[in-house]
Amino acid sequence: MPALLTYFVLLLVLILITGVTYFLQRFINSLPPVEANEEKVSVLQGVVYTFMVLTVIYILTTSYFFIAGTPWESHLMEWLNIVVRLMHITFGIAWIGASFYFVFLENALNRTDNIRDELAGNLWAVHGGGFYYLEKYKVAPKEIPRQLHWFKYEAYFTWLTGFSLLFVVYYFNANALLINKNLLDISPLTGILIGVGSFVVAWVIYHFLCRTSIIQKGIWFALLGVIFCTAFAWFYTQVFTGRAAYIHFGAMLGSLMVGNVFFIIIPAQKAMVKAAKQGVPVNAALGKHAGLRSLHNNYFTLPVLFVMVSNHFPTTFSNDYPWAVLVAISLGTAGIKHWLNLREKHVATTWVLPIAVLVLLAVAFVTAPQKTQTGTCQTEVSMQQVNQVVQARCFSCHSPKPTDDVFKVAPNGVMLDTPENIANLKDKIMQRVVITKTMPQNNKTNMTQEERDLIRCWIEQGE
Ligand code: HEC
């Protein structure tokens, strides 16, 4: 019944959105496209979008109240997760794509052949069956064109959806995914405040460092960056589960990137446009500083992407030194970005790529399972013994009707209720229970090392 009701509310609201949007669009289109109206049109469009966003939030919150405590609740969370994640990835691709493209442009500009005085360089390109010709101005054109494209919403929306995803995945499930009581016993609210607060602290420190003259000295600034990242990586792994620590590290870097766009790059561009429009000299230092921040962002991209992907690979975050792995992978991936940047500038280097690759390979070796962890297996292990352990340690979550206080449906659809199911999932069980020890989650059911050894011996003895 509640489901049916929600459905009707949903339908009604959807019809409402469509209707209102249609009429507003018609109204917008009926306005004559003269300059004075342009602002009004964009305001109206803003109203439409805000309205749509509010409606979606309304739908989701009302559905939540209808289904809280029922199995549909986790279904709703799953779909929220899917939708927000997809949006996050899409905006992220647009943003990082633009970042790569513009740093490439900057690196690849022709700065010498037949360049007009006011230009820094130009570039010919062919793409999608069309030829493109781009020019970069040294500071700003004498007259700012009316149609000037700004790249900013990609960044803002990536951050907003990422922040929402942090809530959907980690903060709404803080007890299960954010906090590891065996590591640090804090309340969900404390955990969330630490997480969100850390982004603000990171920005303040980073911004302060950027205000000093060290920002001009590439190599020293990079060194400071490594220290900064190490400190945060270490801190996160001391307070959160491995996986949450990684995602917070990525979200922290991502927040710096968006902070750069929102607080530095866009305001600088606005000031430059304003100066150019008023005919006063444009402060070139503004553009230079914005350019540096944009370059930092460029170096952050690959580490951030790694972190986002690492979430699906427990070997990365569950080892003895997760913070060191995080730093090493950040260094390795930023190194690869550095090599790419040098290549685009046609600067020959022999050491950057090999070292970056070596650092990454070293991580793969360091995180490999150690033979010494495993004792010898004496007697044959029976399926019954294995089944007993699994029932005791896994069943509270991985069963058709979980009894766990957080998980009301089997996580990832993994059910370990029959010997066949257990046998079918052997490889994954080996990975999660024996090698990475990431199951039972946070060892909530207190599985012992002997039990892990038993599972390993059973898998190693084969059929
Ligand atoms: C407190 C609840 C809980 C307990 C207890 C638990 N798990 Fe899990 N398990 C999860 C959650 C949540 C996930 C999904 C997130 C993840 O992959 O970390 C998961 C994922 C898995 C996966 C990965 C499935 C995939 O699609 O990759 C395997 C395998 C697994 N668990 C096995 C086990 C085994 C074996 C045990 C017992 C030794 C166990 N789990 C105990 C919560 C639990």
Identify which of 153, 150, 151, 160 has the alpha carbon closest to the alpha carbon of residue 88.
160
Q: Give the model confidence (pLDDT) of 136-159 as tens digits.
A: 988 788 888 888 888 888 999 999
Any idea which residue has 């420190």 for tokens?
205
27: confidence class by pLDDT, cuts 50, 70, 90 = confident
Mutate to test the pocket of ligand 1, among 77, 395, 412 (most ligand atoms within 8 A of CB): 412
* Cβ < 6 A, ligand 1 pocket: 390, 393-394, 396-398, 404, 407, 411-412, 414, 416, 425, 428-429, 432-433, 439-441, 444-445, 447
Least confident of 9-13, 35-39, 43-47, 285-289: 35-39
- Of 413, 422, 410, the closest CA to residue 384 belongs to 422
- In this predicted model, what pLDDT tens digit does every residue of 329-375 receive, in sequence order? 999 999 999 998 888 888 888 888 999 999 999 988 888 776 545 56
Distances (CA, A) of 260 to 152, 228, 264, 265, 306: 11, 17, 5, 6, 20
In angstroms, what is the span from residue 398 Cα to ligand 1's centroid?
Answer: 7
**Per-residue buried b or exposed e for 168-189, using 16+ beta carbons within 10 Å of the residue's own CB:** bbbbbbbebbbbbeeeeebebe
- What is the atom index within ligand 1 of the atom nearest the CA of 402? 2
**Cα end-to-end distance, the chain, whole Å:** 49
pLDDT at residue 239 tops 90: yes
Q: What is the pLDDT of residue 172?
A: 87
User: How does pLDDT run across 33-75, given as a tens digit for each residue?
Assistant: 655 566 666 777 777 777 777 777 777 777 777 777 777 777 7
Residue of the nearest CA to atom 10 in ligand 1?
Answer: 411
389 token code pair: 């352990």
- Mean of the pLDDT values across residues 412-417? 87
Percentage above 90 pLDDT, the chain: 38
Supply the mean pLDDT for the chain: 86
Instruction: Return the best residue to mutate from 403, 439, 447, 451 for the ligand 1 pocket (most ligand atoms within 8 A of CB).
Output: 439
Please check whether residue 122 is in contact with residue 131, taking contact to mean a CB–CB distance below 8 angstroms. no
